[in-house]
Amino acid sequence: MSADATIRRLRADDAAAFKAIRLEALKANPELIGSTFELEDSLDVTLFAGRLEDTHVLGAFQHGALVGTVGFAIQQGPKNVHKGRLFGMYVRPGARQLGIARLLVNALLDVARGQVELIQLTVVSDNQAARRLYESVGFLEFGREPKASKYGDRYFDESHMALDFGRAEDFG
């Protein structure tokens, strides 16, 4: 099956839909995402609007509905501005395995390429679906933090991955 989806940048006007999909992701996969449902549910929608203007968040739409997101931000500080960060990758369960995450990540790399020299991300180490996705576009693991996060009684290791545009010509 192939993805019949449109990808575009989300702006402040999309804040309500962005908050809704973010809360859905935090509810469905609390162990995979750094934040928590309780924290973000309490935030005003204007804060989400601000996030959409301060960072570059892409949305995937099917029949006008937001079904997936991924974000890109340039890192802070004069010694870090050559690096970007990928965050907030999520595709609604009903839209999975259609290639939408791949469309999102490739569109994000097109945005990041030219703005930063490399892009980094963090992923729960046993999240095979996400790891395979990232590896398939050229991300390599460069470190692993044991017990990086704790949700309930469970600890989760996190893998740090990077894609160096200077070394990634093979992936286009």
Ligand X SMILES: CC(C)(COP(=O)(O)OP(=O)(O)OC[C@H]1O[C@@H](n2cnc3c(N)ncnc32)[C@H](O)[C@@H]1OP(=O)(O)O)[C@@H](O)C(=O)NCCC(=O)NCCS
What are the beta bridge partners of residue 151? 154
What are the beta bridge partners of residue 71? 57, 87
- Measure the CA angle with vertex 110, ends 87 and 21; round to 5°: 35
Instruction: Give the strand pairing for 56-62 and 6-9.
Output: antiparallel
What single DSSP character describes residue 34?
A: S
Q: How far is the CB of 22 from ligand X (least distance, A)?
A: 11
Binding site for ligand X (CB under 6 A): 29, 32, 89-91, 96-102, 123, 127-130, 132-133, 136
CA max distance for the chain? 44
Of residues 96 and 147, the one with the C-beta less far from ligand X: 96
Of residues 116 and 130, the one with the C-beta less far from ligand X: 130
With both helix axes pointing from N to C terminus, report the angle between 15-28 and 45-54 in degrees, rounded to the nearest 10. 100
Q: How far is the CB of 86 from ligand X (least distance, A)?
A: 8
Distance CA 23, CA 38 (A): 9
Q: How far is the CB of 81 from ligand X (least distance, A)?
A: 23
Of residues 77 and 146, the one with the C-beta less far from ligand X: 146
Of residues 29 and 115, the one with the C-beta less far from ligand X: 29
Q: How far is the CB of 64 from ligand X (least distance, A)?
A: 18
